[in-house]
Structure formats: C-alpha cells, structure tokens
Amino acid sequence: MENRYKTTGKIPRSILATLPMFLIIFIFSTQGNIAFESTADALAWAVSTAFFTLIFFLMLYKGKTDKYRAIAFGASALLFVVGFMANLIEIRGSINYDTNTIYNCDIPFCHIVTTMVIIPAAIKQTIIFSGNLNEGFASIASMLVIVIAAAVLMGRAFCSWGCFYGGWDDMTSRIGKRPIIKKINSSFKYFSFAMLILMALWSAESLVPQYCNWLCPFKAVTEGEKIVDGVTLIKNIIFYTMFVALVIVLPILTKKRIQCATFCPMGALMSLFNKINIFEISLDKEKCIKCNKCISKCQLMAMNKDHKPSITCAKCARCIDNCPSEALNYRIKGTSAKVSASTARVIFLYLAYSFMVIFLGSCARGGLETIFKLIF
C-alpha cells in the first residue's frame, strides 16, 4: 500500500523537510546570538533544540502527527510550570501573589484573561488586569500580540499546539488504556461557550477577571493567591479542587481533555476563530466506514455524529491518526482534491509546530535550565 504522506518512511525526504524547521528553532532560540549565560543555559538550549527537531522529524518520517505532538506538548506544559515558578521566585521571591503584587501591577498576563478583558476594553477603554502593559515578563501587550496571531492564523489549533496549560490534560487523558467513564454527552463541549459568556459578563460587571479570581485550575501549578484570610483560603481550595478534578481525575476516567473541552473560556473563544481559519480537518465521505473511532478517540469531543469535526476542533490530528480508512485529513479551505492531504498537512505542521517551538519552546528551555541548575 502506498504511504499516505510523501515523507513517511523516507529518511532523506524527511530530513530535508525537517531542515527549515531546524532553522526556525535555531534562529528563534538563539536570536542570532550564540552566547549562553551559563552551562545550564547552554545545555537547556541544546536539549530543547534537539528534542523539538527530532519530534518534527518523527512526525514526518512516521506519518503520525498526534502521537509526537502530544509528547512535545506535554513536555512543554510540564517544563513551563517549572520555568514559570523558578522565574517568579527569582523576580519576587515567591510563587504566590499578594496585595503588594496586585497594587504594583506585577502579575504576569495569561492568555485566558483575554476572554475577560474584551468587554471592558471595548466599553471602558481600559484593561481590567493588574499587570504590566508593555514591560517585563509576560506583559499584557506581548501576550495580546501572541493571542491575536494565534487566533487569526491557527484558530483553535492553539489549544493543541500552543497553550502551555493544554498539555496537562492532554497528558493525563492518555493515562490508562480504556476509559472508565465511557459515555459522555458530547454536548458538554458547548458548556465552554456558556463559560465564555458568563465569565466575560461577570468580569465586565465587576471589573475583575473572575475566572482567574475564583475558578482557574492552573493556579494550582502556576501562581496562587497567598492565603491571608478565609476568602483566600476558599479560593485556594477551589483552585486545587478544580485542578485535581478537571485536569487529573476526570481526564483519566474519561480519556477526554475535560478542562479544555468543557470548561476553558479561551477554548471557546478560539473555536470562534476556527470559522475564519484557512485550515480544517475534512472528511472524505466515500472512504468513511463509519467505525466511530474518530468520535471515541477525540479528546475534545469535537467530532459530530456525521464524523465531521465541529467548530471546537483543535486540529490535534488524533482522529486522522486513528482513522483506519484514511478518510480524515488536513485540508486547506477552498482547495480542491488536487491539493493533496500531504501538502496540506506539511503546511499546517510548519505553521502549528513553529508556534509550538517558538512559544512553548522558550518555556520548555526555561524549565530545563532550572532543572539543570538544580542538578549541577
């Protein structure tokens, strides 16, 4: 049987196609200056560059996208947490924020906050967040530029290729062979849209980003609020409970990315951008044998009953990799069958993986550097 993709099983072709990605990784990780602050920094650069290059090569050579994407995505999510915490400790001496941090507008801006600042930005012309506008670590302007670029160019693919939180439940949902909770109503995925509307309105009314204030599970692994009274204690209990339930336990039991699929308002916002995104996953109805594997394997519950991806598809390619009849493929919208699945896949991979290696790659490198500093 002929290989599905032009690079599959062909080493020279895969190496050749990996070269541009290696250059992207090299240029963005060195910023054109091969000078390192320490041995740990040099080692972290070498390991992360080799790792991300190898993963891209394997995607092309083996012809499997999701399997290798998940490795890079999960590793980046774990290393991001390590690097982020180390950075906070270096800057402010603690991973917790308190009144001093809030009054000094020193809180790093996270992409999820975008969903809550839109309405006040439009009506009141101000950003309701206690962060730095254009200076320092994770400034508001820098994150907004990244979010806008990701939304327009990738749509919800951001949630499977670029979000430094997404790797967590992507990893945990792969633990174990079979789901313990087998039947989940896929309509739950629309709850994230309810969350988006609720959080946007509640935050606008109160001028406080309420998802971050009360509900974000990832506060448990990034920066939590310092416990100073009953309210901050309750908040921390909620953050940790949410993390354990939505990011660890439920994904293991269901083998679905429950936090990302049903709860994250950012996922819902990015889904809306799928409509204007040039890439999609398309179904060849003639090839489809209606085995429902795509529906059962999709971690975001994004596959409709007619085996076509819904608006919430994050283009992770798990359905493509698991389709026994090769009926699902990446496709550039507006192109006919003449533009092969292989071409569409390679162009999409260059786009999505570039985002991953530049945005998450720097996080991974930071985490590795921290680990190497601890070891040596």
Partner 1 sequence: MKNFIAKFWAILSIFLLLGSFMFGQQLQDLLMKAPFMHIDPSYSGGEIENTIESECYTINIHKKVFSALIGEGSEGFRQITIIKNDSTVNNYNIKTFAVDSLTMIKIVDNVPEVRKGVSSFTIHEIGISDKKMIFRIQEKR
| Residue in the structure block whose two tokens are 């790093």 | 108
Residue 33 contacts partner 1 per CB under 8 A: no
**Cβ of residue 320: shortest distance to partner 1, in angstroms?**
17
CA dihedral of residues 219, 224, 227, 233 (deg, nearest 10): 0
Residue 198 contacts partner 1 per CB under 8 A: no
Pick the closer one to partner 1 by CB: 73 or 348.
348
DSSP per position, 215-244: I-GGGGTS-PBP--SHHHHHHHHHHHHHII
Residue 28 contacts partner 1 per CB under 8 A: yes
Enumerate the β-bridge partners of residue 282. Answer: 329
Residue 103 contacts partner 1 per CB under 8 A: yes
- Considering only 91, 145, 181, 233, the residue that binds partner 1 (CB under 8 A) is 145
Classify residue 135 by burial, with Cβ atoms within 10 Å: 0-12, 13-18, 19+: exposed
Total site size for partner 1, rule CB under 8 A: 57
Residue 128 contacts partner 1 per CB under 8 A: yes
Residue 90 contacts partner 1 per CB under 8 A: no
Residue 245 contacts partner 1 per CB under 8 A: no
* DSSP-derived secondary structure letter, 137: T
Residue 202 contacts partner 1 per CB under 8 A: no
DSSP 3-state of 375: helix
Residue 127 contacts partner 1 per CB under 8 A: yes
Residue 272 contacts partner 1 per CB under 8 A: no
**Cβ of residue 279: shortest distance to partner 1, in angstroms?**
7
Which amino acid is it at 125? Answer: Q
Tell me, residue by residue from 106 to 125, as one string, x for binding to partner 1 by CB under 8 A and - for no binding.
-------------xxxxxxx
Token pair belonging to 173: 């949902």
**Cβ of residue 124: shortest distance to partner 1, in angstroms?**
6
CA distances from 284 to 127, 318, 349 (A): 45, 16, 21
CA distances from 313 to 154, 158, 273 (A): 11, 10, 11
**Cβ of residue 161: shortest distance to partner 1, in angstroms?**
11
Scanning residues 314 to 343, which ones bind partner 1 (CB under 8 A)?
332-336, 338-339, 343
Residue 279 contacts partner 1 per CB under 8 A: yes
Residue 142 contacts partner 1 per CB under 8 A: yes
* Cα–Cα distance for residue pair 58/56, rounded to 1 Å: 5
* Cα–Cα distance for residue pair 316/15, rounded to 1 Å: 23
Interacting stretch for partner 1, rule CB under 8 A, among 54-62, 135-143, 178-186, 299-307?
Answer: 135-143
| Residue in the structure block whose two tokens are 């499997």 | 64
Pick the closer one to partner 1 by CB: 133 or 288.
133
Angle CA(134)–CA(139)–CA(143) in degrees, nearest 5?
110
Which amino acid is it at 332? Answer: I
**Which positions touch partner 1 (CB under 8 A)?**
24, 28, 98-105, 119-131, 133-134, 139-142, 144-146, 149, 153-154, 204-205, 207, 278-279, 332-336, 338-339, 343-344, 347-348, 350-351, 354-355, 358-359
